[in-house]
Chain A
Amino acid sequence: MTSPVESYVQQDYKYGFVTDIEADTVPRGLNEDTIRLISAKKQEPAFLLEWRLAAYRRWLAMTEPHWPNVQYPPIDYQDIIYYSAPKQVKPLGSLDEVDPELLATYEKLGISLSEQKRLSGVAVDAIFDSVSVATTFREKLAESGVIFCSFSDAVKDHPELVKKYLGSVVPAGDNFFAALNAAVFTDGSFVYIPKGVTCPMELSTYFRINAADTGQFERTLIVAEAGATVSYLEGCTAPKRDTNQLHAAVVELVALEGATIKYSTVQNWYAGDSEGKGGIYNFVTKRGKCAGARSRITWTQVETGSSITWKYPSVILQGDDSIGEFYSVAVVNNRQQADTGTKMIHVGRNTKSTIISKGISAGRGQNSYRGLVKMLPKAVGARNYTQCDSMLIGNACGAHTFPYIDVQHPSASVEHEASTSKIGEDQIFYCKQRGLDTEDAISMIVNGFCKDVFQNLPMEFAVEAQKLLGISLEGSVG
């Protein structure tokens, strides 16, 4: 039976184009010389090179984890290009000097790097393969003391901050992919919000993988001093290629006393074709530390892309009365696999965490929620609430829920609820009887299912996310 939805927006992954631009790449493969080369290209201080080399040596002794509920052929780490950057003649003085080809690329992705054209008051750091090509509104932000720049610039301009916080939440040897990232990371975003400052605009990073056979290893560090507030968004796309590409990022968030960090992701890496050929391996370590009392970290993610997603944005709730939140929508279609969730580690007293996870599986997709809620012995009065819902569309997909709950104090309370459902035939008929066609009905029902998460996204991202959801699920309903 051909469903009306199969004809529904039979549009391709619209971000799948390739930018033809001359690139400066390092030879394939990984050894200490590759790392020295990357570090030299970036003119890094000695401490950072040492840090990288130490991470690399630890990585050599580690084995790739295979506990996630995902399957993929072995990755040949010597067949990856660890650095690729668009060639540029001289250091950039202003946006006007950015290669027009790159500006056009971002325009095409719907991200304008021209500050005049940005009406919504969002500052953007654009990362293209291994480097940041532009960061908008830097001066305006600097007026309120906010530092928003590429990681490379931060290393040059604020080495003391980098030294203090780099690896403080995700240590270099935290896990296999984090260690690899520490050894070879090339760029990323750096955000520093001084004491008591509420960042005057949304900050965002747009990640673009362009070159073939490269891995993207970016590193983002956000520090919010006491009483500071920031909302940060990231978006990701990549060209359609029939080989897999590795994206192993690390994100570290530090919230000091009373600080708030809201980190939102709309992840739309190329997911591979309907037979599972190509696509990004998205193996990411994201962790925040509520270091100070009454601090708050919120992760919101909408994961629709990547052939394999493996990430657990987590919060260490160290400060008393601190709050960690995780809101997630993960969609898998065709042959996509996702193993995602969160860890909430309650250390301090009266810490609170909320986890809302919505998994949608269609086609032959496999979607796993994996979460850990840990209440340590000093987490007096700590609370967690977890709600974890799955929706299956079609009978060739799967939904899996693996929550781990570890409680070591009697006054802590943990509540976990999970459910699995399908879109009811009666729901679709009800909508049709009110005049809506099938695809509108499905889109409405799915968006309703995800509402608890979408309402935590900044407005324009929420709209984007809803559209993405419709596209990711196209052709999935029979």
Chain B
Amino acid sequence: MTATAPRATEPGWLAALRREGAARFEALRFPTTRDEDWRFTDLAPVAKANLGAARAAGPLTEADLTPYLFGHAEWPRLVFANGRFQAELSRLTGLPAAARVEPLADLLADAPELVEETLGQLAVQPASAALVAQNAAGFTDGYAIVLPAGAVVDTPIHVLFVSDANAVLGTTLPRNVVVLGANAVASVVESYLSLADGVALTNTVTEASLGEGARFDHCKVQREGAEAFHLATFDARQERDSYLNSFSFAEGAAISRTNIYTTLAGPGAHATLYGLYLGEGRQQVDHQTRIEHAAPDCTSWEVYKGILDGHSHGVFNGKVYVHPEAQKTDGKQTNKNLLLSETAKVDTKPQLEIFADDVKCTHGATVGSLDAVPLFYLRSRGIPEDEARTLLTYAFAADVLEEIRSRPVVDHLEDLMRAWLAKAGRRGRAAAGRESA
């Protein structure tokens, strides 16, 4: 597919970025399972679908979005439908005067130099190269957040990427850039939603540059349609004493792959990466994370949890990479998975690569089913088995949701979890019924 509308006014560096992206994607195409970074997720269906650019969305109203606003319609909001900015549905009021929060296309037209050192510069991990290249070649818009030193945006900025029936058999390539000056604070919630079913591809790239002492909360909520393909890459660079808190929630899409990467480039930087993925039917849900400890005295903490039902396949592939100069690194990585059905499966690959000697790094992974002891305990207190199972499964997932900074988002995702579990419970009972019959 080709770029739809790279603007004629684009600066030379951006044009070069697009050219390189196009050439690179032409050479690489979509990765295959022969590639170690992709061995558990087969993108052949994506490649085969060979989708062109998504058409412009049909008319959208505020009411269409209401269920997805976490009960906070007043939050600053940017809405993109099939990749195009929807000014009338967005609201960018109540932000500090010095803060630039706007569609990337607008910023590029007006002050491209603000993102020149970030856009195309951070998302450079080889595992995501093909996806980033496709995005660079063809992206048209996305969100840009540029905060000067000391600027604080307290309320979450909610960015909705919505696709409707016109996106079916199309590709959307959102591109997002976040640049936080020293001690600046921002919080973003990215929602990916499908308002219509059908095969469609989203390939989104977000780059975030955190200045000294900056704090960035990034929460990604992926609820695309059952036939959708969702590919996402988030890559951050963190200067001294900065803090990144990342959360990835994945519930939708037929095939989804989310890459979350960060480089701890300055001493004292801290990153927390959390995630929760739910799989059912024949869903393929894959997360890859990579934390580069490139400076001394940095800490990272990572917890990903997965619940897999039906014939779904969960994948977690996390790497903590400690460079020789990153002494006094403290890193902890955990991945836990629950399998609810006999046919669900999980591949997990938590990795450590360590080149410094004075470090404290641990990782752990578990796969299993619910522990029999608490299950029995609950039943002995009169709670029916189904309910006890749901309760314990919910508890398994809920503690990681608590790590999302924004309470309304936590509450909303908890509701989603409950609904998902209730559905899983009905499926389980139905299956049990068939078996006993």
A and B directly contacting (CB within 8 A):
yes
Residues of chain A at interface, number, CB under 8 A: 35
Which A residue sits closest to B368, measured CB to CB?
A: A413
Contact of A416 among B343, B344, B364 (CB under 8 A): B364
What is the CA–CA distance of A401 and B352 in the complex, to the nearest angstrom?
5
Which 3 A-B residue pairs are closest in the complex by CB-CB distance? A413-B368, A410-B339, A392-B357
Interchain CB contact under 8 A, B347 and A399: no
Contacts of A413 in B (CB 8 A): 366-369
> Which residues of B327-350 are within 8 A (CB) of A?
327, 337-350
What is the CA–CA distance of A392 and B329 in the complex, to the nearest angstrom?
13
Interchain CB contact under 8 A, B351 and A401: yes
A-B contacts, 20 of them at CB < 8 A, read: A392-B357, A395-B355, A397-B355, A398-B353, A403-B349, A404-B347, A405-B348, A406-B346, A407-B337, A407-B346, A408-B345, A410-B339, A410-B340, A413-B369, A414-B365, A415-B368, A416-B363, A418-B362, A418-B364, A420-B352
Q: Mark A359-402, 1 if CB is under 8 A from B, else 0.
A: 00000000000000001010000000000001011111111111
What is the CA–CA distance of A334 and B163 in the complex, to the nearest angstrom?
57
Which A residue sits closest to B336, measured CB to CB?
A: A415
Interchain CB contact under 8 A, A410 and B357: no
- Across chains A and B, the number of contacting residue pairs, with CB separation under 8 Å, is 113
What is the CA–CA distance of A406 and B361 in the complex, to the nearest angstrom?
23
Extra A-B contacts (7), CB below 8 Å, given A397-B357, A398-B355, A407-B339: A395-B324, A406-B346, A410-B338, A410-B344, A415-B366, A418-B364, A419-B362
What is the minimal beta-carbon distance from A389 to any residue of chain B, in angstroms? 9
What is the minimal beta-carbon distance from B57 to any residue of chain A, in angstroms? 40
Asked whether any CB of chain B lies closer than 8 Å to the CB of A421, the reply is yes
What is the CA–CA distance of A291 and B341 in the complex, to the nearest angstrom?
28
Which residue among A411, A415, A416, A420 has the maximum number of chain B CB atoms within 10 Å of its CB?
A420
Interchain CB contact under 8 A, A400 and B354: yes
Contacts of A375 in B (CB 8 A): 367
Interchain CB contact under 8 A, A393 and B346: no
Interchain CB contact under 8 A, B36 and A420: no
Asked whether any CB of chain B lies closer than 8 Å to the CB of A47, the reply is no
Interchain CB contact under 8 A, A414 and B367: yes
A420 and B351 contact, Cβ closer than 8 Å, known pairs A397-B357, A410-B344: no
Interchain CB contact under 8 A, B362 and A400: no
Write the residues of chain A forming the contact surface with B, with a CB cutoff of 8 angstroms: 67, 375, 377, 390, 392-422
Which residue among B338, B342, B345, B352 has the maximum number of chain A CB atoms within 10 Å of its CB?
B352
Which B residue sits closest to A398, measured CB to CB?
A: B355
A420 and B345 contact, Cβ closer than 8 Å, known pairs A399-B352, A407-B367, A412-B368: no
What is the minimal beta-carbon distance from A478 to any residue of chain B, in angstroms? 10
What is the CA–CA distance of A417 and B357 in the complex, to the nearest angstrom?
19
Asked whether any CB of chain A lies closer than 8 Å to the CB of B407, the reply is no
What is the CA–CA distance of A165 and B359 in the complex, to the nearest angstrom?
47
Contacts of B357 in A (CB 8 A): 392-395, 397, 422
What is the minimal beta-carbon distance from A357 to any residue of chain B, in angstroms? 12
Majority SS at the chain B contact face: strand
What is the CA–CA distance of A399 and B362 in the complex, to the nearest angstrom?
12
Asked whether any CB of chain A lies closer than 8 Å to the CB of B72, the reply is no
Interchain CB contact under 8 A, B369 and A422: no
What is the CA–CA distance of A407 and B345 in the complex, to the nearest angstrom?
6
Which B residue sits closest to A406, measured CB to CB?
A: B347
Contact of A67 among B36, B347, B350 (CB under 8 A): B36
Interchain CB contact under 8 A, B369 and A395: no
Which B residue sits closest to A369, measured CB to CB?
A: B352
Interchain CB contact under 8 A, A402 and B351: yes
Contact of A399 among B342, B345, B354, B363 (CB under 8 A): B354
A411 and B369 contact, Cβ closer than 8 Å, known pairs A403-B349, A420-B361: yes
Interchain CB contact under 8 A, B362 and A416: no
Asked whether any CB of chain A lies closer than 8 Å to the CB of B3, the reply is no
Interchain CB contact under 8 A, A417 and B367: no
Which B residue sits closest to A384, measured CB to CB?
A: B367
What is the CA–CA distance of A404 and B350 in the complex, to the nearest angstrom?
8
Interchain CB contact under 8 A, A420 and B367: no
Contacts of A377 in B (CB 8 A): 342-343
What is the minimal beta-carbon distance from B112 to any residue of chain A, in angstroms? 40
Interchain CB contact under 8 A, A417 and B364: yes
> Which residues of B30-52 are within 8 A (CB) of A?
36
Which A residue sits closest to B332, measured CB to CB?
A: A419
Q: Mark B352-383, 1 if CB is under 8 A from A, else 0.
A: 11111111111111111100000000000000
What is the CA–CA distance of A377 and B344 in the complex, to the nearest angstrom?
9
What is the CA–CA distance of A408 and B345 in the complex, to the nearest angstrom?
4
Which A residue sits closest to B360, measured CB to CB?
A: A421
Which A residue sits closest to B321, measured CB to CB?
A: A400
Contact of A398 among B340, B354, B358, B364 (CB under 8 A): B354
Interchain CB contact under 8 A, B324 and A396: yes
Contacts of B356 in A (CB 8 A): 392, 395
A420 and B366 contact, Cβ closer than 8 Å, known pairs A395-B327, A407-B337, A409-B339: no
Interchain CB contact under 8 A, A422 and B345: no
Contacts of A420 in B (CB 8 A): 352, 354, 359-362
Contacts of A67 in B (CB 8 A): 36
Which A residue sits closest to B352, measured CB to CB?
A: A401
Interchain CB contact under 8 A, A405 and B360: no
Interchain CB contact under 8 A, A402 and B363: no
What is the CA–CA distance of A441 and B352 in the complex, to the nearest angstrom?
28
Q: Mark B265-289, 1 if CB is under 8 A from A, else 0.
A: 0000000000000000000000000
Interchain CB contact under 8 A, B342 and A409: yes
Contacts of A392 in B (CB 8 A): 354, 356-357, 359
Contacts of A400 in B (CB 8 A): 351-354
Which A residue sits closest to B319, measured CB to CB?
A: A402
What is the minimal beta-carbon distance from B284 to any residue of chain A, in angstroms? 14
Contacts of B343 in A (CB 8 A): 377
Contacts of A421 in B (CB 8 A): 359-360
Interchain CB contact under 8 A, B351 and A403: yes
Interchain CB contact under 8 A, B359 and A422: yes
What is the CA–CA distance of A402 and B342 in the complex, to the nearest angstrom?
26
A418 and B366 contact, Cβ closer than 8 Å, known pairs A395-B324, A407-B346, A410-B344: no
> Which residues of B285-334 are within 8 A (CB) of A?
324, 327
Contacts of B324 in A (CB 8 A): 395-396
Interchain CB contact under 8 A, A418 and B354: no
Interchain CB contact under 8 A, A404 and B349: yes
Contacts of A409 in B (CB 8 A): 339, 342
Contacts of A390 in B (CB 8 A): 352, 354
Interchain CB contact under 8 A, A405 and B361: no
